[in-house]
């Protein structure tokens, strides 16, 4: 089985300079398990791009997937989006909620059409200190808006029978302000470790990791 991790800079692993983020941790785990047990090889592809929204994802999704797809094996597609879609410039989100779900739905359908399972990760919160505050690029993020995107994601997961990893609730319950680097958006090493833990738990539940 292959695992394809699509996402933004959080998936890419920005600011986790030691371990490379949650997706690279997953890749290392699968490589270690194969080397030690010589069982089924699980190849993990980190396809995160910094700053990406679902609008950009939709354009590259099939070319990226088809270039790596093993036609003889059912794969697992992980989609982790929303932190950039929900960002506001001039009072408007970069990708409004309806378009966000439309883009993701198209990718879910395309993945399912190639016999892949899909697992969604919802949007991590932001640090309270930057809630509603414009950054150097003039972008504003709000925890209330992130909640709107996460609720839309829950509905989409139900409608498309996709899995959903609730990283947002886990961050909130652990004291989310302590899980970010100074910009208040990107998880630090502890934050990435938490996302990795939640993803592995779900992969074990659905029998991807034995």
153 neighbors 141 (Cβ within 8 angstroms): no
Beta bridge partners of 6: 47, 79
Structure tokens at 10: 């959080």
Give the model confidence (pLDDT) of 82-119 as tens digits: 999 999 999 999 999 999 999 999 999 999 999 999 99
Dihedral over alpha carbons 88, 122, 168, 123 (to 10 degrees): -20
On the CB side of 118, CA atoms within 13 Å amount to 26
Full-model pTM: 0.96
Spatial separation of the C-alpha atoms in residues 149 and 102, rounded to whole Å? 12
Beta bridge partners of 80: 7, 121
Give the model confidence (pLDDT) of 138-183 as tens digits: 999 999 999 999 999 999 999 999 999 999 999 999 999 999 999 9
Spatial separation of the C-alpha atoms in residues 169 and 64, rounded to whole Å? 30
Structure tokens at 45: 């592809």
């Amino acid at each position: 089985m292959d695992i394809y991790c699509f996402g933004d800079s959080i998936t890419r692993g920005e600011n986790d300079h030691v371990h490379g983020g949650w997706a690279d941790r997953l890749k290392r785990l699968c490589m270690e398990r194969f080397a030690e047990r010589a069982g089924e090889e699980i190849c993990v592809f980190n396809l995160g791009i910094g700053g990406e929204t679902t609008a950009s994802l939709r354009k590259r999704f099939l070319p990226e997937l088809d270039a790596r797809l093993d036609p003889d094996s059912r794969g697992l597609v992980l989609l982790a989006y929303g932190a950039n879609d929900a960002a506001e410039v001039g009072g408007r989100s970069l990708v409004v909620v309806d378009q966000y779900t439309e883009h993701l739905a198209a990718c879910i359908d395309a993945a399912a059409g190639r016999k892949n399972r899909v697992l969604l990760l919802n949007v991590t919160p932001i640090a309270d200190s930057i809630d509603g505050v414009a950054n150097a690029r003039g972008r504003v993020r709000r925890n209330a808006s992130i909640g709107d995107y996460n609720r839309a994601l829950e509905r989409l997961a139900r409608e498309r029978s996709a899995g959903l990893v609730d990283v947002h609730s886990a961050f909130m319950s652990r004291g989310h302000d302590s899980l970010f680097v100074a910009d208040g958006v990107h998880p630090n090493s502890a934050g990435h470790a938490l996302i990795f833990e939640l993803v592995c738990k779900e992969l074990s539940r659905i029998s991807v990791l034995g």
